[in-house]
């Protein structure tokens, strides 16, 4: 016996859109809540080509300026933990702020120590008599507990003072 072929109506074919809509909404929610990381800023840094593995003795410039970003407690003693301390900026023996002064102001850039630091660096730069072709060498020595924002603020003042030879000190290694 021959079977009869049934004609398909075009109205009978339906697509289930519910699962597709669910997936689209899930993707939409995912991308709305996802926090994509972006870089905050770019610091122009070039590795020195005239330093490194050399055959001779490295030359020391005794006129270099070391800016220390320290982490201290209220009585100006060293803090080893990541919490409970304050940032203190020092150049040589001169301390530019007391513990808690930088954190007391909501906008750290508005603190009056930054123009004082810039003036100090400019005076060092004007009296520099070394042989460095890039001018006065400055080393920024920051403890690991110091927030990066303060290190960047110190770097800003070094750049504003017109100093081109800036290096960062390596972190302390415990013995």
Summarize pLDDT for 114-170 with one digit per residue, the tens: 889 999 988 888 888 877 777 888 889 888 888 888 889 999 999 888 888 888 887
Cβ atoms of 116 and 126 within 8 Å: the answer is no
In sequence order, what are the residues at sequence separation of 6 or more whose Cβ sits closer than 8 angstroms to the Cβ of residue 139? 64, 65, 66, 67, 166, 167, 168, 169
Given a cut of 70, is residue 47 above it in pLDDT? no
Mean pLDDT of the chain: 80
What is each CA distance from 69 to 19, 41, 58, in whole angstroms?
57, 21, 26
Nearest Cα to 155, choosing from 175, 174, 141, 144? 141
pLDDT for 28 equals 92
The ranges assigned to domains in the chain are 65-168
Whole-angstrom Cα distance, residue 24 to residue 34?
15
Nearest Cα to 143, choosing from 65, 79, 83, 70? 70
Whole-angstrom Cα distance, residue 128 to residue 115?
20
Whole-angstrom Cα distance, residue 138 to residue 143?
16
Cβ atoms of 140 and 67 within 8 Å: the answer is yes
Whole-angstrom Cα distance, residue 93 to residue 128?
18
Per-residue model confidence as pLDDT tens digits over 60-94 = 666 788 999 888 888 888 877 766 788 889 988 88
Given a cut of 70, is residue 31 above it in pLDDT? yes
Tokens of 24: 């689209």
């Amino acid at each position: 016996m021959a079977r009869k072929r049934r004609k398909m109506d075009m109205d009978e074919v339906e697509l289930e859109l519910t699962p597709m809509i669910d997936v689209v909404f899930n993707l939409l929610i995912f991308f709305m809540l996802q926090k994509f990381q972006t870089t905050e800023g770019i610091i122009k840094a070039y590795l020195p080509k005239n330093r490194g593995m050399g055959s001779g003795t490295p030359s020391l410039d005794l006129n270099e300026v070391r800016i220390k970003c320290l982490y201290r407690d209220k009585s100006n003693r060293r803090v080893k933990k990541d919490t409970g301390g304050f940032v203190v900026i020092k150049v040589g023996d001169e301390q530019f702020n007391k513990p808690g002064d930088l954190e007391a102001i909501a906008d750290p850039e508005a603190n009056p120590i930054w123009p004082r630091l810039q003036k100090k660096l400019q005076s060092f730069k004007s009296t520099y008599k070394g042989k460095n072709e890039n001018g006065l060498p400055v080393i920024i020595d920051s403890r690991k507990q110091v927030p990066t924002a303060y290190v960047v603020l110190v770097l800003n003042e070094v750049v504003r003072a017109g100093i081109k030879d800036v290096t960062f000190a390596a972190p302390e290694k415990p013995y």
